């Protein structure tokens, strides 16, 4: 009996010792695991990573907007654009300006520009979708809506346009100096206010202007006064229209002199009037040079409070000098001023104009 109790006690002591060893090993293993995981947890908190232990190095917080590069299932379509003046005409090889727009306006209300090119035929790489394509050739142009897919596509725009070349001359075939001549091109039709829309201003002579086919109102001006010719000119598609305008006008140079072929008097004010009395031009100087349309005119020259007048005729193509002699003072009977007269602010009156004093009545 004593021997059996001693054996049971020894067995219990060995079991308890084993349990202590197991517990010690378990605690050591748990500590080792926590020590290894802690850096990963801290690293995940610093990067805002919701998954502890998962490294996000090399990745952006937000994905970039979708493009053809990060959309493997979408491929760019190649759009080739060409233009012709007429349906059966050759392709235009230079002078074109291409612009490709998205059809949906942006926040600023404008159509976003997706691409542009200059020259002749142009090629664009575009995402599949719908676009507005505009081709400009000088002042001529055309717009077309084009749908682009994944395949290559070629489109040709017909501009229905031509050219206009303008020049002018005087009667008898006399050429006009280019520096004194200009043209302005308007639309032929008028609006409700009777005005025409401006198409091209200040066109120099012999300049080719590219325009859409149609009729235009052309104003030719020689000088800067009243030598103006208006005409309606039609531009045909695929052709160069040349128009030659004839001006009936002349260059006139006016001067105030004391005698014929005398020296011009400085500081003279000039007014040129039509035969109906309308003022055409006003200027100041010893010489008054201007281009006037043919017709009858009156000159009024003012110098040192004296006024002189003369009528003259402008003949088309006949440039000339017009002299106004001081003997033509419109205040007839007044002697010409010499500049040596004494100053006075009173005028003598005749006895008839000055009544005699009445005698007092007693």
Q: What is the pLDDT of residues 155-190, one digit of tens each?
A: 999 999 999 999 999 988 889 999 999 999 999 999
Confirm whether 335 is domain-assigned.
Answer: no
CB contact at 8 A, 249 and 314: yes
Residues recorded for the chain: 362
Do 195 and 240 belong together in one domain?
Answer: yes
Distance (Å, whole) CA 85 – CA 82 = 11
Residue 337 pLDDT = 45
Check residue 138 and give its pLDDT.
94
- DSSP per position, 146-189: EEE-SS-EEEEEE--EEEEEEEEEETTSPBPPGGGEEEEEEEEE
Separation in Å, CA 349 to CA 24, 64, 246, 319, 346: 146, 102, 60, 50, 9
Which range of residues forms the domain containing residue 212? 164-247
H helix intervals, the chain: 2-46
CATH classification at residue 144: 2.60.40.10
| CATH number for position 281 | 2.60.40.1120
Residues 313 and 277 in one domain: yes
- pLDDT of amino acid 172: 83
Q: Are residues 216 and 186 in the same domain?
A: yes
- The encoded tokens of residue 89 equal 């005409």
- Looking up tokens 């032929």 gives 188
Q: How many domains does the chain have?
A: 4
pLDDT at 3: 41
The answer to whether residue 305 is domain-embedded is: yes
Q: Is residue 21 part of a domain?
A: yes
Residues 148 and 171 in one domain: no
Residue 346 lies in a domain: no
The answer to whether residues 37 and 110 belong to one domain is no
Q: What is the pLDDT of residue 51?
A: 37
pLDDT tens across the length of the chain (362 residues): 444 434 344 444 454 555 554 455 555 554 444 444 444 333 333 334 433 443 333 333 334 444 444 455 556 789 999 999 999 999 999 999 999 999 999 999 999 999 999 999 999 999 999 999 999 999 999 999 999 998 899 999 999 999 999 999 998 888 999 999 999 999 999 999 999 999 999 999 999 999 999 999 999 999 999 999 999 999 999 999 999 999 999 999 999 999 999 999 999 999 999 988 999 999 999 999 999 999 999 999 999 889 999 999 999 999 999 999 987 665 544 444 444 444 333 344 343 443 444 444 43
* pLDDT on residue 35: 44
pLDDT of 355: 45
In a domain, 69, yes or no: no
Same domain as 289, residue 233: no
* pLDDT on residue 329: 61
Q: Which two tokens stand for residue 67?
A: 């493009």
pLDDT at 27: 57
Residue 324 domain-assigned (yes or no): yes
Question: pLDDT digit string (tens) for 65-111?
Answer: 444 444 555 567 899 999 999 999 999 999 999 999 999 999 999 99
How confident is the model at residue 171, as a pLDDT?
A: 85
Residue at 320 is within a domain: yes
CA distances from residue 351 to 57, 129, 354, 355, 358 in whole angstroms, order as listed: 120, 103, 5, 7, 15
**Cα 119 from Cα 197, distance rounded (Å):** 29
Q: How far apart are the first and last CA of the chain?
A: 192
Q: What is the pTM of this model?
A: 0.67
């Amino acid at each position: 009996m004593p021997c059996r109790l001693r054996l049971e006690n020894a067995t219990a002591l060995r079991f308890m010792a084993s349990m202590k060893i197991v517990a010690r090993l378990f605690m050591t293993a748990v500590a080792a695991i926590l020590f290894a995981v802690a850096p990963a947890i801290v690293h995940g908190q610093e990067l805002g990573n919701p998954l502890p232990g998962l490294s996000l190095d090399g990745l952006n917080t937000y994905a970039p907007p979708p493009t053809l590069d990060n959309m493997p299932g979408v491929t760019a379509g190649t759009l080739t654009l060409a233009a012709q003046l007429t349906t059966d005409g050759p392709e235009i090889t230079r002078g074109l300006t291409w612009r490709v727009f998205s059809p949906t306006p942006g926040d600023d209300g404008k159509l976003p520009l997706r691409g542009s090119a200059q020259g002749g035929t142009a090629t664009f790489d575009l995402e599949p979708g719908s676009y507005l394509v505009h081709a400009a050739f000088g002042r001529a142009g055309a717009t077309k809506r084009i749908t682009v897919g994944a395949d290559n596509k070629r489109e040709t725009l017909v501009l229905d346009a031509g050219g206009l070349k303008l020049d002018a001359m005087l009667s008898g075939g006399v050429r006009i100096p280019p520096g004194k001549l200009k043209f302005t091109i308007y639309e032929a039709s008028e609006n409700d206010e009777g005005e025409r829309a401006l198409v091209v201003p200040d066109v120099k002579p012999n300049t080719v202007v590219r325009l859409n086919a149609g009729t235009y109102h052309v104003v030719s001006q020689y000088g800067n006064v009243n030598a103006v010719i208006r005409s309606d000119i039609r531009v045909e598609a695929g052709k160069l229209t040349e128009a030659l305008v004839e001006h009936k006008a002349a260059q006139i140079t006016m001067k105030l002199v004391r005698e014929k072929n005398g020296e011009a008097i400085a500081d003279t004010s000039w007014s040129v009037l039509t035969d109906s009395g309308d003022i055409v031009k006003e200027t100041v100087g010893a010489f008054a040079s201007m281009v006037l349309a043919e017709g009858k005119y009156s000159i009024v020259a003012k110098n040192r409070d004296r006024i002189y007048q003369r009528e003259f005729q402008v003949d088309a193509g006949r440039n000339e000098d017009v002299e106004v002699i001081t003997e033509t003072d419109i205040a007839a009977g007044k002697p010409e001023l010499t500049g040596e007269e004494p100053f006075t602010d009173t005028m003598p009156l005749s006895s008839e104009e000055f009544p005699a004093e009445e005698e007092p009545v007693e």
